[in-house]
Structure 1
């Protein structure tokens, strides 16, 4: 099987973006134990020692990070996709499933990656695939393998071959540097999509994953741009008087909700995502309205407003307050910001200030109770995985900045590999 998506490294090189260390070391740290996890043995792929990426290790870490799987040491060796494993011994080890495979360098310099998934309990072959890929796509092939396994065993789509975006700040004073990064879902393979001496904030993926909208201060004021990921081209979307901030795509990609202060205090507007229309104002409050985000069905917009005296999250029709009254959604706590709606429309993640600490929370939409997922003090900007099963966020942990993922119950968290510096503004794309 040939991977149909070009490697991110190849795409960004073609766009003139310089890569980092081409083969970054594997650095995902996982903590916590889930209530129910599938015991799985993932063997080192035959040939991994001679390959630039360790496919078996990447697959295993992907599965563990999901919170759905528990790693079992099979205590076996010299197995690959063509082997018939001894199921009785594996069952005694506690494994329900087994993944075996191989990585072979081809004469043309590409790598042949093969794997097979076994149901150890039933002794059944659950499927096999192969990929012929350049070295730059080895990590992508590992993520695709993990996606196959995840979907086969859980019945839901995997998200390991998706991408994330985030922003870092490094240096001081005139040497300060802000960078927008695009990386694999585990944080590896990061490439710089934009670098600037001025801040970059509020990155937002388009629904098809082809574009990023973000706010840049390079003009010494906040201006919204839309960036083509494949070729690095970008265009200015909003540069009106005052502040232009917090872009959010509609589910069909045709519109972008945005916060503007062109008419006084910050209010929410909507624009054609191609930039062919004047902004249309959606909110009419006397306070500050910001951080809009669409519901997955496109019928509602969630946003933050201090119209009640303190920041809380509200919901209004996508047509704005002229189409229906805005309703308050959060009632616990007196400071709730940064809403993120799960793609399945069932939950909302947000940041709540608790005794001076900013912590990640999640609540079921339609319910009142919110669950705190963290005990850290500087969480920010949650974003759901495309399958709604994990939440990406930025925080400070152990005295250093970190990108983390959390399961919906907060029991399993993973620190992702990232570039150095202050880490901000994560967003999970496709």
Structure 2
């Protein structure tokens, strides 16, 4: 009997626990990835659920994953189809006894899991072992789901129950920093040549996904290719070639260029690199080159990323609901004309416009920009924040469900901001674009 690794947002070979566990078992190890057509459909707001920028990055990531797995003598099957249609057939064709996958808990991913299990025609018995793995025995097929997208593993945080996760980030951060250790990395060895299986499927093009091909904008702050190879190259460049990590906190609110911030977010979002890998490279950097507040601040940001995932685990679908996790009632509006103005950079605020045009033309926007355009939409115009969050989901190369919705409820005043702040956009523009260089770049 053989083992199937169902890749999702863990598109890497290094430090991948599903892949590592599969390689510990007897039998062949085969990888599979599904380009789910539902992810490329038109939303009710008139834009695609996934636009060309993230799709291009994803296809590049899949090519790289396929090559990196092949170097380990592991085949990757790629399908532009629904997982529930194809996976049961793979189980029969390749005599799969165990399916390994990253544990997901947001509704769309859970629905897909359930659909697959229904189509496999079995009763589900759920077991949770001490490693944080979830095993579902479905007829003869065992599903092993592993939390693998965190810096601090859920089994290691000082909150035995997710309901005890604090609503204030600082409390969570300090307790985890004091009581948690980041786990070591895992790696797999090269498998025997006979592990490879014949595959005829090819990676679809953007056009196959209903999207248009494009050239990267010359002013893009994120001109990088998808894939683990590119992620590790970027890490090496930012840390050890240019030593930019030593100034990270000072430059992270920049707006122009590739090196004002680490730009790891897109690879983290689809799992081209693990948060643990970045953490341990920071430790190496601090030993070899420099240790200061700037080097720590990158870890600080990784903990923020963890925190939004834990808030999602704690509150479930509340992060997608209008009243958020606070159940706060506001008089939210939705105006189609306002949406088009905001999306197209046609508001009364040039700083907002510049950021929205950058997003529209490149699929990327700085963290500073994201906070300002979100505050403008939700606090100035008091428009339904969920519509704007869906637009970010469509456009952002580095879209991550937990960070995107966590940040939107935060900025909309229905999330984890204890101060419920509202940005003074003109003041922000003066502070971060005092010479107007960024606005001139995107507004002409």
Q: Which TM-score applies when normalising by structure 2?
A: 0.23
Q: Which TM-score applies when normalising by structure 1?
A: 0.24
When you count strand as a share of all residues, which structure comes out higher?
1
Structure showing greater relative contact order (alpha-carbon pairs closer than 8 Å, 6 or more residues apart):
2
